[in-house]
Amino acid sequence: MLQMIKMTGKKLPFTKKQIEKIAAHYPTPFHIYDEKGIRENARKFKKAFSMLPGFREYFAVKANPNPFLIKILKEEGFGADCSSYPELMLSESVGIVGENIMFSSNDTPADEFVKARQIGAIINLDDISHIGFLEKNAGMPEVISFRFNPGPARAGNAIIGDPKEAKYGFTRKQLFEGYKMCRQKGAKRFGLHTMVVSNELNPDSFIQTAKMLFEIAVEVKEKLGIKLEFVNLGGGLGIPYRPGEKAIDYGYLAAGIMKEYRKFIPPNGLQPLKVFTECGRIITGPYGFLVTKAIHIKHIYKDYVGTDASMANLMRPGMYKAYHHITVLGKEGRKNDRTYDVTGSLCENNDKFAIDRRLPEIEVGDVLAIHDTGAHGHSMGFNYNGKLRSAEILLREDGSVVQIRRAEAVDDYFATLDFNALKKFRAYNRGC
């Protein structure tokens, strides 16, 4: 039985003892994912949204491109939203193909369209100029979707920014031209997509988005006689990273979208318009934890806890100043009476998992769990400073663990270098 430890509103699906046992086999740092949490959440999500006609969630692979997790989500009835060639391959590797893939890319190279066509993915174009590009390089498919950028009509939010400053999507006018062009080129079935916010906790923002897309669906039918087959509300549903923040209520959101659907869709003869989402964060985010050890404590003008992880393992705090909750294992009951910057080892002063965080006193050897790393965590890793990406571990429902990705080794880092060529290479010392 897994023990749930409640910590100021943030829970851990494992105990310190369990983590010590796991760390004896798989050295820190590692990301650990809670299969039970992922499955239960996926079921709740699917159940709530199933009130929407033809509902389908395409899991945004970019959030966590681990095929073991994608396979779990496939079992729970999800498709995959891909944005690159390797993501298409990952989906294919777990048997997600055809229209169970939404290919929502941007600035797309030709070979990616070719691959998407080859496996029958639904192609969601980012720009009107991509219509000719797709036709020339991969042919016009029977089904085609466009990403809409509402520009000044919507406000956007912190991570994704102001829509009129965002590089994505078609303008409203371009949508109409685009559908006409694609129909002329042989497309028979049409979809409409948008994504205006990221990590948004206000469900009303998504209800507004749904309404906006339903209104366009009505106008497309009126102006072009085209009945859209689906709208895709994109991803961007937020999660409560901070203790005390409120999680999105799936039932409230689905009912709010359905209310708008009833207003716009049946009265305009647009049924059965299907409703899709392509969420990543809300599906796996809260069920991942970066487990890392304190290896140095430093007192200068501030107090620092140096961990054995770095931005190579979790970039969000450094990149977006994002809050990720930290639990010091075994010290859950103690007072948070110290203030620390919790750092990684990069030669970058923004390599900090937390700044001025109130925590219990930390000693070298303490193990820290950094919360909510199940989406946009490991997947955003990189190798600056020669730092290696960590392993990924799956905590199964029975408490056992499986390593679902090994840690990178130095050989992986060097794999793209040819040291034999280096021996033959003559470096000239020019000048100075």
Any idea which residues carry the catalytic annotation?
347
Amino acid at 23: A
What are the residues whose beta carbons fall under 8 Å from the beta carbon of 207, sequence distance 6 or more?
A: 253, 256, 257, 259, 260
Does position 66 bind ligand LLP by CB under 6 A?
Answer: no
Q: How far is the CB of 269 from ligand LLP (least distance, A)?
A: 29
Does position 234 bind ligand LLP by CB under 6 A?
Answer: yes
The DSSP output letter for 386 is G
The set of long-range contacts for 331-340, using a CB threshold of 8 Å and a minimum separation of 24, is: 331/360, 331/361, 331/362, 331/366, 332/5, 332/7, 334/360, 334/361, 335/360, 336/360, 337/361, 338/303, 338/362, 339/302, 339/303, 340/302, 340/303, 340/304, 340/305
- Tokens standing for 24? 């004896």
Which of 67, 156, 236, 318 touches ligand LLP by CB under 6 A?
236
Is the four-CA dihedral 85, 90, 94, 99 of positive or negative sign? negative
Q: How far is the CB of 104 from ligand LLP (least distance, A)?
A: 4
Residue 329 or 370 having the CB closest to ligand LLP: 370
Tell me the angle at which helices 250-264 and 35-49 cross, rounded to the nearest 10 degrees.
30
Q: How far is the CB of 58 from ligand LLP (least distance, A)?
A: 8
Which of 12, 22, 226, 279 touches ligand LLP by CB under 6 A?
279
Residue 195 or 270 having the CB closest to ligand LLP: 195
Segment contacting ligand LLP by CB under 6 A, of 27-35, 135-143, 229-237, 332-340: 229-237
Give, as ranges, the residues between 370 and 389 that touch ligand LLP (CB under 6 A). Answer: 375-376, 380
**Binding letters toward ligand LLP, positions 326-365, x by CB under 6 A:** ----------------------------------------
Does position 199 bind ligand LLP by CB under 6 A?
Answer: yes
What are the residues whose beta carbons fall under 8 Å from the beta carbon of 186, sequence distance 6 or more?
A: 140, 142
Q: How far is the CB of 51 from ligand LLP (least distance, A)?
A: 20
The DSSP output letter for 170 is B
The residues that touch ligand LLP, with contacts defined as CB under 6 A, are 60, 63, 81, 104, 159, 195, 198-199, 234-237, 278-281, 316, 375-376, 380
